[in-house]
A and B are shown apart, each in its own frame.
Chain A
């Protein structure tokens, strides 16, 4: 069984600032995968970034990067140079892979202010 916890229901920052969204998880799997998904008001869930637990190097995708602390079971998302289009719900999720569905956190509503 897996659990994912996002403790920040809402965050608001100014455009161009850097923001970090927190996520902790718990799993009994030896190997697992972690994701951040973005859900804009239009509702389509979009993959932002993923991290394989067996990789020590933190994943990076353009302005998005993660801080993966395996021992602490922490998986935070950093958004640099935030843009108005980054305004959305952000969900942290985990899976053991294969037939396992994703386990999601409750989400963080990120608001980028102009």
Chain B
């Protein structure tokens, strides 16, 4: 595909359930970012991968959040024991690590925790 894809687009989870959100970056993009966007706010950085290496996870809000990119392509963001405050849109973006540093975003996954 030409762009970043994410699945599922919508996820409803009961409090306490685990969820897994998937991101397929643009082919050949080395860098991959996850962001959390609360309603009416700008996205906030969660974590960054360069290939399979997670180089920055300083934005992950708690140890319930875990991200991986085992083969340097597809990435999964996992949230364990979901809480209501986890309700947000989760955005994935990919880019080359050089040049203009512009990031290309996927459509996001809207997570609602009930």
Size bin of chain B's contact surface: 20 to 34
Contact A104 B43 (CB under 8 A): yes
Instruction: Report the separation of the CA atoms of residues A100 and B48 in the bound assembly, to the nearest whole angstrom.
Output: 8
Q: Which residues of A contact B101 (CB under 8 A)?
A: 33, 95, 97-98
Contact B102 A44 (CB under 8 A): no
Chain A residues 4 to 62 lying within 8 A of chain B, measured CB to CB, are 4, 33, 35, 37, 42-47, 50, 52
Shortest CB-to-CB span from B109 to chain A, Å, is 10
Question: How many contacts between A and B, using CB within 8 angstroms?
Answer: 63
A 75-100 binary contact with B (CB < 8 Å = 1; else 0): 00000000000000001010101111
In the complex formed, the residue of A with least CB distance to B46 is A101
A contact residues vs B (CB 8 Å cutoff) = 4, 33, 35, 37, 42-47, 50, 52, 91, 93, 95, 97-107
Instruction: Report the separation of the CA atoms of residues A33 and B98 in the bound assembly, to the nearest whole angstrom.
Output: 12
Residue among B35, B56, B100 facing the most chain A CB atoms (10 A cut-off) = B100
Contact B50 A102 (CB under 8 A): no
Instruction: Report the separation of the CA atoms of residues A97 and B97 in the bound assembly, to the nearest whole angstrom.
Output: 8
